[in-house]
Amino acid sequence: MQIKNLSHLQENANDVLASKINDISSALDDDYDLCFELVTTSELTKSAQKDYDLFRQELSDSAKLSASLVVVDSHVLESRYNDSIGLSPAVITHSFSLEPGRYTGRLIVPQKCTSSIEQNHKGQ
C-alpha cells in the first residue's frame, strides 16, 4: 500500500498529487486522521466489495497511518445532494419540557417550530 510510504509515493506521483502529498504529510504530523472516499454512482460488485473490505481492514490495522476508507455510493450521493438543496432538513429528536406561557409555536413550512425563552438559573 503506497500511502504508507509518502516519500516514495511523492517520487512517483504526478505534479498535482505530489503537491497534495505535502499537505497529507503535514496533516499527519499534526495528528489528523485521513479519510478517503471511494465515490461510485452505483453499488460495489461482490469482488469490489471484497477488495474494499480488505483495503479498509489494512488501513485500520496500520499503526503507522491513521486513515479510513468510506464508500460514497448512489444513496449517499443522493442524500448529500438533497441536503445541499435543502430537501432533507435536519431533524432534532430531543424532547424537553417547557413551562406553559413561556413559548410560542408556529409552522414554518413544512416543519413545526417552537420558540422558547428560558431563564438560566445559576447553581442548578
User: In the structure, what pLDDT confidence band is assigned to residue 123 with cuts at 50, 70 and 90?
Assistant: very low
Decide if 78 contacts 18 (C-beta within 8 A): no
90 SS3 class: coil
Predicted pLDDT at 124: 45
Q: What own/partner pairs with CB < 8 Å and gap ≥ 24 does 76-83 have? A: 77/39, 77/41
Q: Which of 42, 63, 61 is nearest to 53 (CA)?
A: 61
- 64: which DSSP letter? S
Q: What is the mean pLDDT of residues 107-118?
A: 58
Q: What is the mean pLDDT of residues 42-53?
A: 91
Least confident of 1-5, 13-17, 74-78: 1-5
**How many Å is the maximal CA-CA distance in the chain?**
68
**How many angstroms separate the CA atoms of 103 and 2, rounded?**
58
